[in-house]
Amino acid sequence: MQDWTKHTAEARTWFETLRDRICAEFESIEREAGSDAHFNYITWDRDTDDQTEGGGGTRGVMKGKVFEKVGVNVSTVSGEFAPGFADTINGASVENPGFTATGISLVAHMANPHVPAVHMNTRFLTTSKAWFGGGADLNPPIPYADDTEAFHARFRAACAAHNPTYYDRFSKWAEEYFFIPHRNVARGVGGIFYDHLECPDRSAWERNFHFTRDVGEAFLDIFPALVRQRMGQEFTAQDKRAQLEWRGRYVEFNLVYDRGTLFGLRTGGNIDAILMSLPPEVTWS
């Protein structure tokens, strides 16, 4: 079996660099709004007594004038999947339950209901196989067609630079994945979602890593632009109520259906980092 240690370290370095750039950009937006809010970083180690398992990460959280709550987490963990969970993971099994995983996960909930919330995640995992996954999706309480088109256009361009089939495949995947069956509604207005971009050799790893980096660059390019466009827009009490009720749908998806939440909880991840995606305030009608 190929040793992916160096590749995991290289991916981790990129995820940490991307985190730092995103956090700096978000803090800059807060300064433009007259706020001195900044990210607080908490480093955590994986809570396990098994010496074959380990790792940890850094959770960054900021609560400001524009970003009511934004969390950016980078984690790198390794160990073995529990028997009942191993068979659900690409390349893992009861006989071969070992894994490593490194990735960045971001969720931003905004103070102004006209500014869309957003989720972005990219990751590299190894079992008996190695692959990249991730994506980004826009979650506006009050949708604007121009914002939706701009968000999709930027990721369409990122996909087109690598494979002409990627955008159609991955935007459809996002549409199907970010859906709340018990409500029969989409979680937001979509984006892209991909998984199991497998790396049978170094050449494939380079291609898929390049694409994953471009997904991060696309996010860093488009989302701050959307925030700046909407963050000064006036809103009403009715707009705020709509936002808080919409956040309830977001919570329902993340706690009931989201695979990333389940993965974190089933692999001994940091609870606060896993649940950082939940909004600070929410209502159900």
H helices of the chain, in order, are 5-32, 83-86, 145-160, 166-177, 202-230, 237-256, 259-266, 271-274
Cα angle: 138, vertex 195, 225; to 5 degrees: 25
The pair of structure tokens assigned to 19 is 């985190």
Is 119 one of the catalytic residues?
Answer: yes
SS3 90: coil
Amino acid in the structure at residue 231: M
Q: 204, 92 in Cβ contact below 8 A?
A: no
Q: For residue 12, give the nearest of 97, 100, 99 by alpha carbon.
A: 100
Question: Regarding beta strands 98-110 and 130-139, do their DSSP bridges make them parallel or antiparallel, or are they unpaired?
Answer: unpaired
Question: Regarding beta strands 185-186 and 98-110, do their DSSP bridges make them parallel or antiparallel, or are they unpaired?
Answer: unpaired
Q: Which of 7, 109, 114, 119 is catalytic?
A: 119
Catalytic annotation, residues: 119
